[in-house]
Amino acid sequence: MIAQDATAGMFVTLLYGILDGKARTFTYANAGHSPPLLFRSEIGEFVEEPATGIVLGRWANLEYKERTIEISPGDVAVFYTDGCD
């Protein structure tokens, strides 16, 4: 629907995720949005998780992969945007 309605140069970015507190996992799919950063408390550093797909609306009928990451005690997930309208 987005690809059909988008005028030239228009697109949408998206990050969809599911946090499973019991399993300590975060499963996400990324469509051109800034990928999540994960502060790994064990090593004391931020790790940029990879993007899993391109923006929505550029082409129709694309498939997006999901990725599951393990979250350890003390880890912090950071989600952000570039702030564009």
> Tell me: the pLDDT tens digits for 18-58?
999 999 999 998 887 777 899 999 999 999 888 888 877 77
For residue 83, is it within any domain? no
For residue 85, is it within any domain? no
Domain count, the chain: 1
First to last CA, the chain: 20
pLDDT at 80: 82
DSSP state of 14: E
Indicate if the pLDDT at residue 85 is higher than 60: no
**CA angle, corner 1, sides to 84 and 5, nearest 5?**
65
pLDDT at 26: 93
* Mean per-residue pLDDT of the chain: 83
For residue 29, is it within any domain? yes
| Range(s) of the domain holding residue 48 | 2-78
Answer with the residue of higher pLDDT: 84 or 53.
53
For residue 31, is it within any domain? yes
pTM of the prediction?
Answer: 0.75
State how far the Cα of 77 lies from the Cα of 44, in Å rounded to an integer.
Answer: 13
State how far the Cα of 51 lies from the Cα of 17, in Å rounded to an integer.
Answer: 12
For residue 42, is it within any domain? yes
Indicate if the pLDDT at residue 2 is higher than 80: no
For residue 41, is it within any domain? yes
Neighbours of 64 (CB within 10 A): 15
